[in-house]
Structure 1
Amino acid sequence: MPGMLIETYVYKILSAADHARAKELGHTDTDLDARDGYVHLSSRDQVAETLALHYGGEEGVHLYEYVLERFSGDVRWEESRGGELFPHLYGTLRLSAANRHWALETDSAGNPVLPGELR
């Protein structure tokens, strides 16, 4: 259909501590992002693996969904884990700009799980 807008969803995962800081500031500000100089994001296909690799055993993890086409900052798809291209935002990621937000539940092993609609 001509003129149809396609939306690309990207995700930001925040630990409990990073989420508390982001709520105070109104935007994300993680040590990893500050060190690397950009905001680490994941595509829908990448978010489950990112969650498992970096947030296993953590409680209080939050997940934010954003529409890539609505960002005002520069987003670059750059090589990361295993040569895969990940979205990196060179700018500020405001919590208020999120499309959706979840406080993630944990499974019986204490690992955060994606909400049903993203599995």
Structure 2
Amino acid sequence: MTEVAYKLVDRAEWSAARAAGVYAGSAVDLADGYIHLSTADQLAETARRHYAGRSDLVVVEVLLGTLGAALKWEASRGGDLFPHLHAPLPVRAARSERDLSVDGEGVMRFDDGGVGWP
């Protein structure tokens, strides 16, 4: 598997999580009972499918080795294994974060001028 995964998060939600030290998850995460993460190879399609037209987002790079047994690799889209965190995400597990928006076509547009992924 991989050492890192990524979470697209509303900027305001991530700011609140940083203050609290933990991210409980988005409304979708809470409804599903786990925090959805994506590998680097899965992230662009996740952005396209679920975040098109959204702005004020942050992509958080998560160190998977810090998550313990709450991290499970489970089949999802097309049978791909996705990392799902069955617990709140500790902010200390974030290795980096980068501001972005996802345009109407589903392309990630980073606030620093970068387009696409990575």
Q: TM-score band (shorter)?
A: 0.7 to 0.9
Q: Which residue of structure 1 lines up, in the alignment, with residue 72 of structure 2? A: 76
- Structure 1 residue runs of 5 or longer lacking an equivalent are 1-5
CA–CA distance in 1 between the matches of 2:13 and 2:41? 23
Q: Identity over the aligned pairs, expressed in percent?
A: 35
Instruction: Name 1:3's counterpart in structure 2.
Output: none
Alignment of 1:92-107 (within 5 A): 92-105=88-101
Which structure would you say has the larger Rg? 1
8 Å contact kept, 2:5–2:62: yes
CA contact (8 A) 2:71 2:83 kept: yes
TM-score by length of 2: 0.77
Contact 2:47 2:106 in 1 (8 A): no
Instruction: Please say if residues 79 and 86 of structure 1, whose CA atoms lie closer than 8 Å, have aligned partners that are also in contact.
Output: yes
Give the number of the structure whose residues are more often strand, by fraction.
Answer: 2
Cα distance in 2, alignment partners of residues 89 and 108 from structure 1:
28
**Does 2:17 align with 1:22?**
yes
Aligned Cα root-mean-square deviation (Å): 2.8
Aligned length: 114
Amino acid at match of 2:89: L
The one-letter code matched in structure 2 to 1:103 is D
Where structure 2 has 5 or more consecutive residues not aligned to the other structure, the ranges are none
Indicate the SS of the match to 1:45: helix
Secondary structure of 2:54's aligned partner: coil
TM-score normalised per structure 1: 0.77
1:56 aligns with 2:52: yes
